[in-house]
């Protein structure tokens, strides 16, 4: 066994010595060149194969990161848009409130009670003030300087609003800027000034105001003439009235006795 071990060590020593001599003499350089030429294409191919194999993984990872980035951007945009809309609504409400407070002071100087009420429903018009706040059925609803409706049924803290254009609204005696009298009624969609004699001239753009009747004082601005309609073989004509102020575009209204 000892001789076998010595032989292995001797062989290993001889091999190392031979490699050392060949390296010293420069004989290994051609061998390494041949090896590089043989194995370099294989190494390059292996590298490309690994890259191709890993390409789907990198694409999926890149797409997932891009999708998450887009989702984050969409979320931030939605939050910013919501905050911007809320801020715009608050600014509009504050502007309306300031204007109404100023008007309330002028109304109170005339000993007329004016209640500022928030709109709580548009589908079925309702305001957030009721009997306990001093709002009663038949009170007038104003928006700015415009008479837009009356209070309907009331509860403790809410009240129905019957807009002038609603078919259930009570007729209002009105007069044009040029002095022609008629009756304002609603057809469910718009205001119509009826009972206008055909021999009177009604101009587009004329202002329409209340003529005065129980519950509706004289001189309340209602709207302007949008269109005049004449019917053949009729002694009367009608006018379509448009209101600049809209209940559906506001946040607060005034309630006046």
Per residue in 186-239, pLDDT (tens digit) is 999 899 999 999 888 899 999 999 999 999 999 999 999 999 998 888 888 999
pLDDT top residue among 254 and 93: 254
Residue 172 token pair: 């209002």
Nearest to 225 by CA among 244, 250, 245: 244
Q: What angle do CA 107, 109, 112 make, to 5 degrees?
A: 50
How sure is the predictor about 107, in pLDDT bands with cuts at 50, 70 and 90?
A: very low
- In angstroms, how far is CA 250 from the centroid of its own chain? 15
3-state secondary structure (DSSP) of residue 78: helix
Which has more confidence, 98 or 252? Answer: 252
3-state secondary structure of 215: coil
Per-residue pLDDT band at 113 (split at 50, 70, 90): confident
What's the rounded Cα separation, in Å, for the pair 70 and 194?
58
Structure confidence at residue 23 (pLDDT): 60
């Amino acid at each position: 066994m000892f001789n076998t071990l010595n032989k292995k060590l001797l062989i290993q020593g001889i091999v190392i010595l031979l490699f050392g001599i060949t390296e010293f003499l420069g004989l290994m350089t051609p061998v390494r060149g041949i090896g590089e030429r043989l194995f370099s294409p294989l190494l390059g191919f292996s590298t490309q194969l690994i890259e191709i194999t890993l390409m789907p993984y990198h694409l999926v990872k890149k797409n997932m990161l891009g999708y998450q980035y887009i989702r984050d951007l969409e979320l931030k945009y939605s939050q910013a848009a919501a905050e911007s809309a809320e801020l715009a609504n608050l600014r509009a409400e504050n502007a309306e409130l300031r204007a109404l407070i100023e008007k309330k002071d002028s109304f109170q100087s005339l000993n007329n009670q004016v209640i500022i009420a928030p709109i709580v429903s548009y589908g079925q018009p309702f305001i957030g003030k009721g009997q306990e706040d001093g709002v009663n059925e038949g009170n007038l609803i104003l928006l700015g300087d415009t008479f837009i409706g009356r209070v309907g049924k009331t509860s403790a803290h809410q009240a129905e609003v019957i807009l002038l254009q609603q078919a259930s609204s009570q007729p209002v005696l009105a007069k044009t800027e040029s002095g022609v009298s008629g009756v304002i009624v609603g057809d469910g969609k718009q205001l119509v000034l009826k009972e206008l004699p055909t021999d009177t001239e009604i101009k587009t753009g004329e202002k329409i105001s209340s003529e005065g009747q129980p519950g509706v004082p004289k001189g309340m601005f209602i709207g302007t003439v949008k269109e005049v309609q004449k019917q053949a073989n009729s002694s009367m004509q009608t006018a379509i009235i448009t209101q600049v102020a809209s209940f559906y575009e506001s946040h607060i209204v005034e309630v006046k006795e």
